[in-house]
């Protein structure tokens, strides 16, 4: 009976996860030849050329910066939401969640009109007789777009863990002589690590692979790894190379998750959502 009830999920997983994964692997490790295909590592050796590695490093760089900014903005926000300073915490929570109800593309397009040469931001700056800025189509704009879109994924897991910390533990630390700063460093921060790890993972992964944000706000000048993969499939038509880059990305993400779960330590059983 139990086995039977699992069937729909197994079918789903096979159809939409296992088969596509196998296809990606197949394309990654083969090259087309006359009259068929042959096994080869050529797609991978091609990736490890400076031109593509530079794209990879740039993606990694922007993803790390975006993740750090999300963490620096998100942790205090989560603390405020989990704390008692505000009576209407759910309003703050809503402010974080409402943008997520809107279409991702629309949200990113909105930034386009804000940052444009004659957009909202520059009109505002002109109004206050300040020099105009050209943020659009820079790395800064891409990072801004990533932080804006992925911040909730940092805030929510941290908030979830923080709000479950027993107030008694915080009081106990104070009772034992710890000042508020020591309470934070020695008790709250270590107890909230699982949420931080989860938040970092949930921001870093989409930031590493996004191609929409970089194309809209980066204007295509700053090709990221996601754009590279997209191009191979939709423009160039080289499915083999596109698949190989995807495989590299999967390995990188799995490795980073392994590192994260090492830091997460023994708190694996904490439910985050």
Partner 1 sequence: MVSEIIVQLKGVSKYYDDTPALTDVDLYIRKNEFVTLLGPSGCGKTTMLRLIGGFEKPDTGTITFNGQDIGNVPSHKRKVNTVFQRYALFSHLNVFENIAFGLRIKKMKESVIREKVSRMLELVNLQGYEKRDVNSLSGGQQQRVAIARALVNEPDVLLLDEPLAALDLKLRKEMQHELKNMQRQLGITFLFVTHDQEEALSMSDTVVVMKDGEIQQIGTPEMIYNEPVNAFVADFIGESNIVDGIMRQDYLVEFAGNLFECADSGFARDELVDVVIRPEDLALMPPDQAKLKGVVRSVNFLGVHYEMIVEGADGTEWLVHSTLMEPVGTMVGLGLEPMDIHIMKKVRA
Binding site residues, partner 1, CB under 8 A: 166, 168-169, 171-179, 182, 186-187, 190-191, 266-267
Q: How far is the CB of 99 from partner 1 (least distance, A)?
A: 33
Identify which of residues 38 and 182 has a Cβ nearer to partner 1 in the complex. 182
**Smallest separation (angstroms) from partner 1 to the CB of 178:** 5
Mapped onto helix, strand or coil, the DSSP state of residue 176 is coil
Q: Which is nearer to partner 1, 112 or 272 (CB)?
A: 272
Closest CA to 28 of 251, 246, 250, 252: 246
CA distances for 130 relative to 68, 116, 136, angstroms: 29, 16, 17
Q: What are phi and psi of 33, to 5 degrees?
A: -125, 175
The pairing of strands 30-33 and 36-39 is: antiparallel
- 34 vs 266, beta carbon nearer partner 1: 266
What's the min distance (Å) between Cβ of 198 and partner 1?
16
Rounded distance between C-alpha atoms, residue 72 and residue 128, angstroms: 29
* Whole-number Å distance between alpha carbons of 150 and 70: 7
- Distance in Å, CB of 137 to partner 1, minimum: 45
């Amino acid at each position: 009976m139990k086995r039977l009830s699992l069937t729909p999920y197994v079918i789903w997983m096979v159809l939409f996860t296992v088969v596509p994964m196998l296809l990606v692997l197949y394309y990654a490790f083969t090259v087309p030849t006359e009259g068929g295909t042959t096994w080869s590592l050529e797609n991978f050796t091609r990736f490890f050329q400076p031109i593509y590695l530079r794209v990879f490093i740039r993606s990694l760089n922007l993803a790390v910066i975006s993740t750090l900014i999300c963490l620096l903005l998100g942790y205090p926000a989560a603390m405020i939401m989990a704390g008692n300073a505000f009576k209407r915490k759910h309003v703050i929570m809503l402010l974080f969640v409402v943008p997520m109800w809107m279409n991702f593309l629309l949200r990113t397009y909105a930034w386009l009109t804000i940052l444009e040469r004659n957009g909202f931001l520059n009109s505002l700056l002109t109004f206050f007789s300040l020099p105009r800025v050209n943020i659009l189509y820079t790395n800064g704009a891409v990072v801004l777009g990533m932080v804006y879109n992925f911040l909730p994924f940092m805030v929510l897991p941290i908030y979830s863990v923080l709000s479950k910390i027993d107030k008694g533990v915080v009081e106990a630390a104070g009772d034992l002589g710890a000042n508020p700063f020591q309470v934070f460093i020695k008790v709250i921060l270590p107890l909230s690590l699982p949420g931080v790890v989860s938040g970092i993972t949930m921001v870093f992964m989409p930031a590493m692979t996004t191609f929409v944000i970089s194309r809209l706000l980066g204007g295509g000048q700053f090709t990221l790894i996601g754009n590279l993969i997209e191009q191979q499939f939709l423009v160039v038509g080289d499915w083999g190379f596109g698949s190989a880059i995807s495989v590299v990305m999967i390995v990188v993400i799995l490795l980073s998750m392994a590192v994260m779960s090492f830091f997460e330590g023994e708190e694996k059983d904490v439910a985050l959502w």
